[in-house]
Structure 1
Amino acid sequence: MTTATVSADRLLRRAARRGGGWTALLAVASLADAVAITVLPLVLARTVDALLGGGGAAASALWLCAVLVAAGAAAEACTELAAGSGTAGATAWLRHTLVRHVLAAGPGLRLPPGEVTSRVVGGAAEAGVAPAALTQAAAALVPPVGALAVLVVTDWRIALTIVVALPLIALLLRLFVRDITATAHRYLDVQGAIAARLTEALNGARTIAAAGTPEREVRRVLEPLPELADEGRRMWRTQGDVAARGLLALLLLQVAVVAVAGVEVMTARITPGEFIAAVQYAGLAAGFGPVVTHLLRLGRARAGAARAAEILERPALTYGTSGLPPGPGRLELRGVAAAGVLDGVDLVVPGGAAVAVVGRSGTGKSLLAALAGRLADPDAGEILLDGVPLRDLSRPALRGAVGYAFARPALFGETLRDAIGFGLARPAAPRVREAARTARADAFIRRLPAGYATPPGDAPLSGGELQRLGLARAFAHAGRLLVLDDATSSLDTATEMQITDALLGGSGGGAGLGDRTRLIIAHRAGTAARADLVAWLDGGRVRAYGAHHVLWRDPAYRAVFGAEAP
């Protein structure tokens, strides 16, 4: 059994426990239905014998048959209700668990958004069926086992006829579960690949339209479709092969049972009623159709659970319990390595200083920014804020101390006021407005019909306006450390200069930014020149660290900024 299968089965057991009373009701109802199905042929046999014998017990036997039929129908109705409700509960728990882990892992998850969505939505739905499928598959074994037990008591020769065929049936079921699980896993993998490509295309819809290549993108997104169809056909072919072979085995078995039972009737070892029951019990003993149906669902569920378990095995950020002592926001990186990009980075950002991080594309600037506020953990090394390792800080302490602004911010909340205040602690309205003024967002927000009460989806925002709202959110929440990851790339020159003034201590400060430690991913020589210090990343390490005018003497440093020579 592979590690993925073990993890999937463990996840399914946890999901089954979330079914609560519905799982218990399903087990009881399924068992009651199975018992009614198993006992009914025996009661029918007694009824037939009573009718042929002309005894007065026939009426009672008929009533008992009616009761069994009614009980079976009621149990089947309860089974459907419990299966649906239990599946819904297990699926909801799986989705909650996956979404919670995905958001806790954050950028460290390193899976395409479409793939994640496919596993959370589709994979969880497949896996949520497992508790009901397993319970019903177990209950479906009761009629075959019970039928064989009754036949052993009735006539051991008939039972022996069935026992001889059971190993073949068991082998067919075992091969079916193995094949259907593997096929379902491949099917879901291809389905996830299509979802990932579609998400990429939707995110790049403007680029596709501008390039005039929608048909080409359609072909790219749907390129795995033939493979998906092949896996689907393979899945149904596997099921059809097992069903066909099983049906042939069942027919041959019933013919053999009829022949043996006929001989037993003629020799008066069994009654006519028992002959009828034997034929019915032969069908039950080898009737694995319901079992196959539930095993098919279980195989797909295990495949979905395996894909979900792969997400849950990705490490998520866990927080400590420590708080921060009073301090200026000194940030220190000691021997930090991450993602094969950064290798042994040592860097000290003095409290209250503005440090620009520069370097060519791919040198790890955004990765360093993510590590600085623990959006991700390093593979090696340690990062400290005012002497406390970031891993030891509680979530409120860390997120209250660090504010982030990104190149492509996302807005969350019912209104723009909510979007700026989005965080663990919501800033007061005056602070929100002050942060918006500092980010040069207040003016265009007030021009909107509902002002700060405008829903983000109703606001026609340009790229620069969106970045200003992201900056406002960072300004409103930054406690000691403010991290800007290419957060001014879409601003016009005048607005960028105004915000740079606020960030780097010029006129128009506001929001109390001057006393915060600022780590700025910079692409322009002008921004680096106004920072207190510059950290020059090259080859996964800090190649140089100092004032911009000192580093400017190095031709290689000037080459980082290309045409921005003095």
Structure 2
Amino acid sequence: MSGRERPAGLREAVPGLRRTLRQLRPHIREQRTLIAGGGAALLAEVAMRLLEPWPLKWVLDAVVVAAGADLAVRRPDDLGTLLLLASVGVVVVVLLRAAASYLMTVAFALAGNRVLTRVRAEVYAHLHRLSLAFHDSSRTGDLVTRVTGDVGRLQEATVTALLPLLGNVVTLVGMLVVIAVLDLQLALVVLLVFPLFAVSGVRLTRRISAVSRGQRKAEGALASLATESLSSMKVVQAYSLERPMQEAFGGDNERSLTEGVQAKKLSAGLERTTDALVGLATGVVLYVGAQRVLAGALTPGELVVFLTYLKTAFKPLRDIAKYTGRIAKAAASGERIVDVLQTRPDLVDRSWARPAPRFRGDVRFEGVHLSYAPGHPVLRGLDLTVRPGERVAVVGPSGSGKSSLVSLLSRLRDPDDGRVLLDGHDVRDLTIDSVREQVAVVLQESVLFATSIRDNIAYGRPGATEEEVVAAARLAGADGFVRRLPRGYDTVVGERGSTLSGGQRQRIAIARAALRDAPVVILDEALTGLDGETEAEVVAALGRLTRGRTTFVITHDLDAARDCDRVVRVEDGRAREVAQARAAAPAREAEREGRDAVAR
């Protein structure tokens, strides 16, 4: 994900905020009723906040007059009634303000949480649409951090910073209008402090934003390292890598801490700078305001209102400093989210793509070229034809493009040039999902999810009945051992199926492929790493799975190709037929026995 130039204006103060809001706009529109209600409650809350000091003003002016102060104010006819009304007024205003504040908080928080819940789902779904090339070049832990941590931080900032900031800004504007009406000269004195706040705020906020981006990047690297090491614990412990892993984690952890402390220091500096400016403004206003009272231009009550507003108005400024730091951090998270959402999938359905018909399994590769990086081709004009129901072994050295070849069938990738045809249809003219539904894959590492065995099999064809799931398990030779488990098909396997043996995982994967009932089957090193007895069981299950289906057996071992109709070797980006596999099997068996005799 490439960097971009820093924006100007508000975008310079809070980098990425506008970009994030632009991405969220469609979701925000869906919550416009809640947002409008929250806005109305916000205005009511601000109005009550503006009214709060006025009962005190009326009482103070009345008491001063009653005490005989020589000020140009009207003496109230009934001071006791005024005191009672003012006291009741204070209570009513505070209660109304509390109610409005509650409604505002609930409405905005509900709208914000709904928006960001949808954004999290959108990011998660978008990651599933991105190509294998994207995921191969990304770190899983960092992507997980974006889906969970970054969206969570944005969600938290919306409730704890953005909404209070909005309320404070509206309050600040309202108070400035009122104090300007009360005494324009004194209001201008207050406004002299604002440029100082703006200069210091923008400078520090820019630095907070930069540090926050670094902190989120460091946290992503930390999550990636933790994910990699914890998911590879067997290798870590087998090679005694605990200390190197801990040292690497400690380094990333320290970098994250350093960035976090720096961000906190900058945020604290911004808040304390604001406190100093508030103190300066209060002292100036108190001095000038007292002179205005003595001159008769202001009443004592109006000066109290002025000072109350000043304190209340500068509290939002101090809070703005605090909230701006949070929003700057959230904006850094928002940019990471937007980076994902604006990454375009390499594979998309063409505008004229149509659902695929049920295939017979006739497969043709015509002049196929494929590169993972410019100037590094994997396939160079490859041609290959496979008839329906034919079983073809694809062999070749590691990195020759065997798996890349068959990945084109299920449209995990599209060729740079040439065509891949299924029953005469260019797969790019068909919808991606409809092509993938007719290709079943069994991999070397059978990936199972941390859910029940029933669900793991049913992923082959969502919506399958219980009877169909059990039938697929029987075909794969898995029904027997599954029923011996304490909870049978309801048994929850560990992460990636870690609670099952390799052979058991492989048979569950075969059952999943069998349930798919696809005309094309891909076996990608499906027998690698299995012991002799387990391999025999899996071979039998694979034989039942592939009967009558077009099958590609990806392997580096010619012995694994003995039951195939043909053997095709992929090398230097091209395919050439090695032999009729079944005819060559006796010769390979004799060769193997000869090697065993020499070894003995």
Q: Counterpart amino acid of 1:444? A: F
**1:397-425: per-residue Cα shift (whole Å, max 9, x none)?**
32331111112222348543432232344
Q: Counterpart amino acid of 2:339? A: E
Instruction: Establish whether residue 93 from structure 1 lines up as the match of residue 113 from structure 2.
Output: no
Q: 1:256 aligns with which of 276, 281, 284?
A: 284
Instruction: Establish whether residue 221 from structure 1 lines up as the match of residue 256 from structure 2.
Output: no
Normalised by the length of structure 2, the TM-score is 0.82
Q: Secondary structure at the match of 1:423?
A: coil
Equivalence map 1:461-500=2 (5 Å): 461-496=500-535, 499-500=538-539
Instruction: Establish whether residue 523 from structure 1 lines up as the match of residue 556 from structure 2.
Output: yes
Normalised by the length of structure 1, the TM-score is 0.87
**1:142-169: per-residue Cα shift (whole Å, max 9, x none)?**
2322222222222221111112221222
- 1: CA distance, partners of 2:597 / 2:264: 66
Q: 1:536 aligns with which of 552, 562, 569?
A: 569
**1:129-185: per-residue Cα shift (whole Å, max 9, x none)?**
454443432221123222222222222211111122212222233334323222222
Percent of residue pairs identical: 27
Q: Secondary structure at the match of 1:515?
A: coil
Q: 1:329 aligns with which of 336, 361, 376?
A: 361
Q: Counterpart amino acid of 1:75? A: A
Distance 1:44 1:564, change over 3 A: farther
Equivalence map 1:434-445=2 (5 Å): 434-445=471-482
- 2: CA distance, partners of 1:450 / 1:66: 63
**Structure 1: runs of 5 or more not aligned:** 504-508, 553-562
Instruction: Establish whether residue 352 from structure 1 lines up as the match of residue 389 from structure 2.
Output: yes
Q: Is contact 1:354-1:533 (8 Å) kept? A: yes
More displaced stretch, 439-448 vs 167-176: 439-448
1:558 counterpart residue number:
none
- Cα deviation for residue 428 of structure 1 reads 5.2
More displaced stretch, 187-196 vs 494-503: 494-503
Q: Is contact 1:354-1:531 (8 Å) kept? A: yes
Distance 1:126 1:23, change over 3 A: farther
- 1: CA distance, partners of 2:502 / 2:530: 8
1:114 counterpart residue number:
141
- 2: CA distance, partners of 1:273 / 1:91: 46
More displaced stretch, 146-155 vs 516-525: 146-155
Q: Is contact 1:333-1:347 (8 Å) kept? A: yes
1:557 counterpart residue number:
none
2:151 counterpart residue number:
124
Distance 1:194 1:380, change over 3 A: farther
- 2: CA distance, partners of 1:251 / 1:379: 67
- Cα deviation for residue 434 of structure 1 reads 4.9
1:342 counterpart residue number:
378
**1:180-214: per-residue Cα shift (whole Å, max 9, x none)?**
22222211111111111111111111122222332
Q: Is contact 2:390-2:549 (8 Å) kept? A: yes
2:437 counterpart residue number:
400
Equivalence map 1:64-83=2 (5 Å): 64-83=89-108
Distance 1:143 1:432, change over 3 A: closer
Q: Is contact 1:352-1:518 (8 Å) kept? A: yes
Q: Which runs of 4+ in 1 moved over 6 A?
A: 563-566
Q: Counterpart amino acid of 1:113? A: T
**C-alpha RMSD of the superposition:** 3.2
- 2: CA distance, partners of 1:134 / 1:232: 20
More displaced stretch, 371-380 vs 120-129: 371-380
1:560 counterpart residue number:
none
Instruction: Establish whether residue 372 from structure 1 lines up as the match of residue 409 from structure 2.
Output: yes
**1:483-533: per-residue Cα shift (whole Å, max 9, x none)?**
122222133335545655675xxxxx434x232111221120123454333
More displaced stretch, 35-44 vs 196-205: 35-44
Q: Secondary structure at the match of 2:222?
A: helix
- 2: CA distance, partners of 1:535 / 1:47: 98
- 1: CA distance, partners of 2:466 / 2:99: 60
Instruction: Establish whether residue 422 from structure 1 lines up as the match of residue 459 from structure 2.
Output: yes
1:389 counterpart residue number:
426
Instruction: Establish whether residue 304 from structure 1 lines up as the match of residue 333 from structure 2.
Output: yes
**Structure 2: runs of 5 or more not aligned:** 8-14, 67-75, 585-594
- Cα deviation for residue 231 of structure 1 reads 0.8
Q: Secondary structure at the match of 2:389?
A: coil
Equivalence map 1:2-401=2 (5 Å): 2=6, 5=16, 7-17=19-29, 19=31, 21-54=33-66, 55=76, 56=78, 57-105=82-130, 107-110=132-135, 111-129=138-156, 131-132=158-159, 133-287=161-315, 288-316=317-345, 317-319=347-349, 322-325=354-357, 327-334=359-366, 335-340=368-373, 342-350=378-386, 351-378=388-415, 381-394=418-431, 397-401=434-438
Q: Counterpart amino acid of 2:556? A: H
Distance 1:450 1:275, change over 3 A: closer
Q: Counterpart amino acid of 2:145? A: S
Distance 1:310 1:396, change over 3 A: closer
**1:291-329: per-residue Cα shift (whole Å, max 9, x none)?**
223323322221111111222233345446523345421
Q: Counterpart amino acid of 1:37? A: R
Q: Secondary structure at the match of 1:336?
A: strand
- 1: CA distance, partners of 2:36 / 2:463: 44
- Cα deviation for residue 384 of structure 1 reads 3.0
- 1: CA distance, partners of 2:33 / 2:446: 44
- Cα deviation for residue 481 of structure 1 reads 0.8
- 1: CA distance, partners of 2:538 / 2:313: 79
Q: Counterpart amino acid of 1:96? A: A
Q: Counterpart amino acid of 2:178? A: V
Distance 1:142 1:421, change over 3 A: closer
- 1: CA distance, partners of 2:552 / 2:596: 21
Q: Is contact 1:162-1:285 (8 Å) kept? A: no
Q: Is contact 2:476-2:544 (8 Å) kept? A: no
Distance 1:15 1:43, change over 3 A: farther
